[in-house]
């Protein structure tokens, strides 16, 4: 009997191949859409984490209160000692010192007169120490447009658009004019080693990237750092985990009334990033839910129609003496098979396309011109564990539910009408 049913299932393309194709497409779209939304939302969060916020950030309490003003006069002293302690307490995070600063870039001509000038924001990052992960984290190598990365003290990177505006090429000297940690005027010369384009409109307008030791020297901040950033070893931001870690760290200093005592803040506790993280979670869940629901309806109907289409065949089987319960069960088994086959194929297909988008990305730089938020110009999907089972909700559950509902017709069906129906 089972062989008979399997033969029927395989030979009747509209009962096997077509439903499997429909389920496969539905599941693949669900998986792909979820990975895409997760990646899109997560990319923006990660981008902010890499350039400014870290997954967690340690700074002085006073600095934290005025964080948006980048108050380096409130920077953390003995940064090296703090970094060591953080590495010891939280070894599953990578820790690094950063100094964010603002200033004016002056480009002198051959006789030292100002040739061009422009305001800039700068980041002091660890570029030169052994085993530093910063150039990779900021994707500096791939972002390089001209020249090369700094390899010795005194070298600096400029965003390519800014360099073009200032008419600067690698090898030129520039002067950074800013203020020291103590509030006095700072002037420091750098050699431009190269230009970079991050693909982030906000950064590409006017950014400097220099080694943190050079920035310390320029701004008179020996062993100080505005911020100590922590990045989870897995590379992805986990809000719950980082907030718990911040609570743990801050508990050590809860009784301190020192304005310069360190404080740790998770990414979602910094500025409006909390709102963005929440929004990205909610929207990601909402969009995925709507899509899963829509796909569920489609596949539910496919299951329903598949059952109704077989009304005649089921009528014959009932007339031949097959019990209703047996007919119903075989229909369910078939839909489980179709749902499983379609869900497995669809999940594999969806993951494949998601992997392609995760690896190669979709370039949206054309749409990002003039953007004032830090968003990536390449959208990438992000495959999460959920993508491995999410598709089974519409693929398996909805297909089987649709069949179960249409199968109820078997129980409700009056056998007395069989002759009449089968004559139709």
Partner 1 sequence: MEINTMITIRNLEKRFPVGKDEFIALRDINLVFGAGEFAGLIGPSGSGKTTLLNILGSLDVPSSGEAVVLGYSIGNLNAKQAAKLRKEKLGFIFQSYNLLAVHTVFENVEFPLLLLNIPKDERNRMVMDALEWVGLTGKVRSKPPQLSGGECQRVAIARAMVKKPSLVLADEPTANLDAANSHHILKTMETLNRELKTTFIFATHDDKVISYLRRKIFLLDGRVDKDEVISAR
Where does this chain bind partner 1 (CB under 8 A)?
A: 1, 4, 7-8, 11-12, 312-313, 315-324, 414-416, 418-420, 422-423
Helix ranges restricted to H, 123-177: 134-137, 140-143, 160-166
Min separation Cβ 329 and partner 1, Å? 14
Min separation Cβ 411 and partner 1, Å? 9
Min separation Cβ 232 and partner 1, Å? 56
Helix ranges restricted to H, 66-181: 79-89, 134-137, 140-143, 160-166
Nearer residue to partner 1 within complex by CB, 111 or 320:
320
Min separation Cβ 21 and partner 1, Å? 18
Nearer residue to partner 1 within complex by CB, 187 or 316:
316
Take residue 388 and report the two structure tokens written for it: 């491995």
Min separation Cβ 419 and partner 1, Å? 5
Residue with tokens 């003290």: 153
Indicate the Cα dihedral angle 10, 14, 16, 21, nearest 10°: 140
Take residue 404 and report the two structure tokens written for it: 């179960």
Min separation Cβ 12 and partner 1, Å? 4
Counting every residue written for the chain, the total comes to 424
Nearer residue to partner 1 within complex by CB, 286 or 419:
419
Nearer residue to partner 1 within complex by CB, 214 or 334:
334
Nearer residue to partner 1 within complex by CB, 11 or 88:
11
Could you tell me which residues come within 8 angstroms of residue 211 by beta carbon, excluding any fewer than 6 positions away?
124, 125, 126, 127, 128, 150, 153, 155
Min separation Cβ 416 and partner 1, Å? 4
Residue with tokens 């690698």: 170
Nearer residue to partner 1 within complex by CB, 281 or 317:
317
Could you tell me which residues come within 8 angstroms of residue 33 by beta carbon, excluding any fewer than 6 positions away?
287, 288, 291
Given phi > 0 = left and psi -120 to 50 = alpha, else beta, which region is 362?
Answer: beta
CB 70 within 8 A of CB 246: no
CB 147 within 8 A of CB 170: yes
Nearer residue to partner 1 within complex by CB, 148 or 415:
415
């Amino acid at each position: 009997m089972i062989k008979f049913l399997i033969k029927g299932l395989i030979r009747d393309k509209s009962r096997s191949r077509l439903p499997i194709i429909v389920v496969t497409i539905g599941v693949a779209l669900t998986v792909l859409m979820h990975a895409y939304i997760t990646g899109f939302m997560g990319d923006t969060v990660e981008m902010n984490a890499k350039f400014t916020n870290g997954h967690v950030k340690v700074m002085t309490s006073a600095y934290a209160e005025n964080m948006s003003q980048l108050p380096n006069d409130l920077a953390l002293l003995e940064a090296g000692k703090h970094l060591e302690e953080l590495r010891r307490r939280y070894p599953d995070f990578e820790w690094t010192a950063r100094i964010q600063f603002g200033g004016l870039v002056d480009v002198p001509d051959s006789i030292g007169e100002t040739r061009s000038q422009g305001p800039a924001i700068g980041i002091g990052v660890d570029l030169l120490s052994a085993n530093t992960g910063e150039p990779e984290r900021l994707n500096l190598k791939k972002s390089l447009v001209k020249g090369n990365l700094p390899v010795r003290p005194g070298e600096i990177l400029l965003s390519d658009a800014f360099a073009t505006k200032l008419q600067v090429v690698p090898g030129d000297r520039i002067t950074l004019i800013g203020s020291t940690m103590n509030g006095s005027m700072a002037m420091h010369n750098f050699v431009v080693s190269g230009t970079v384009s991050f693909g982030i409109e906000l950064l590409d307008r006017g950014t400097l990237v220099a080694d943190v030791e050079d920035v310390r020297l320029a701004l008179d901040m020996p062993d100080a750092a505005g911020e100590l950033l922590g990045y989870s070893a897995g590379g992805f931001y986990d809000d719950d985990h980082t907030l718990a870690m911040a609570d743990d760290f801050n508990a050590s200093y809860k009784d301190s009334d020192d304005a310069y005592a360190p404080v740790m803040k998770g990414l979602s506790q910094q500025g409006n990033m909390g709102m963005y993280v929440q929004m990205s979670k909610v929207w990601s869940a909402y969009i995925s839910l709507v899509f899963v629901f829509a796909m569920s309806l489609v596949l539910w109907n496919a299951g329903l129609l598949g059952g109704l289409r077989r009304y005649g065949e089921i009528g014959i089987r009932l007339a031949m003496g097959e019990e209703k319960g047996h007919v119903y069960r075989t229909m369910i088994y078939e839909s489980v098979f179709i749902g499983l086959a379609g869900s497995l194929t669809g999940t594999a297909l969806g993951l494949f396309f998601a992997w392609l988008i995760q690896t190669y990305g979709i370039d949206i730089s054309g749409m990002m011109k003039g953007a004032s938020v830090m968003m990536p110009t390449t959208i990438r999907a992000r495959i999460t564990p959920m993508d491995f089972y999410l598709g089974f909700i519409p693929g398996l559950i909805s297909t089987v539910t649709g069949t179960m509902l249409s199968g109820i017709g078997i129980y409700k069906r009056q056998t007395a009408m069989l002759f009449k129906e089968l004559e139709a």
